[in-house]
Amino acid sequence: AQSVTQPDIHITVSEGASLELRCNYSYGATPYLFWYVQSPGQGLQLLLKYFSGDTLVQGIKGFEAEFKRSQSSFNLRKPSVHWSDAAEYFCAVGDSSASKIIFGSGTRLSIRP
Amino acid sequence: NAGVTQTPKFQVLKTGQSMTLQCAQDMNHEYMSWYRQDPGMGLRLIHYSVGAGITDQGEVPNGYNVSRSTTEDFPLRLLSAAPSQTSVYFCASRSQAGNQPQHFGDGTRLSIL
């Protein structure tokens, strides 16, 4: 069975600064990996996904993530954050068919003006 | 396209009552899932299905039943509601074909008194 850990509960960064949100997964085979964002009171929006191929994945809103098999990680990055990026971010891992997808507990991102 | 439709959007129950949360998708997706979202705990998988007639337990299945008689519908039943089941419930669907992400419904906010 797969699992996913987001070690940072809450992160605050200054507007314009770079961002990295950590995600570690556990799964015996090559996983399917996702990052979602959720603004307060809203539903989930997919930022990016990794299924296979290039380990550096580009997503929407200027986000990217890198799959590192040796570290069992799939960290989310953005070179320069905007105030509108304040939200909760969820990493998720799917099994070999991505029929069963497990989410992490989330990281809340705050932006300092 | 309606996508994933959840009804109702809000519901208040008394302890011990039963209720069914409805989920329907019009995208002919094989995979469907139910999650609950609680503060600080992310989304936790309750049950999932890989096709009509096939369901399986997720991370937190106790107190919930599901069935999948058609491809389109995946109802979630609470047989005897408990205050611990107060949560926001999300239904999701996904095609098994290719590297497709999950599509989420807008959620059902359920309060159990």
Q: Which residues on chain B place their C-beta less than 8 Å from a C-beta of chain A? A: 31, 33, 35, 40-45, 48, 50, 56, 58-59, 90, 92, 94, 96, 99, 101-102, 104-107
Angle at the Cα of B109 from the Cα atoms of B19 and B15, rounded to 5 degrees:
45
B98 has a pLDDT exceeding 70: no
CA distance B35 to B51: 17
Angle at the Cα of A65 from the Cα atoms of A47 and B29, rounded to 5 degrees:
40
How far lies B46's CA from each of A18, A49, A93, A104, B69, in Å?
Answer: 35, 22, 15, 14, 18
Residue ranges in chain A modelled with pLDDT below 70: none
Q: What is the mean pLDDT of residues B88-105?
A: 89
User: Given B31, B101, B104, which is nearest A43 (Cβ)?
Assistant: B104
How many other CB atoms sit within 10 Å of the CB of residue B77?
13
In chain B, the N- to C-terminal Cα span, in Å, equals 36
Q: Give the residues across from A94 on adjacent strands.
A: A32, A101
- Summarize pLDDT for B51-65 with one digit per residue, the tens: 999 999 999 999 999
Q: What is the mean pLDDT of residues B28-50?
A: 94
Give the residue among A24, A3, A32 at the shortest CA–CA distance from A76.
A24
Q: Does A98 contact chain B (CB < 8 Å)? A: yes
Average pLDDT, chain B: 94
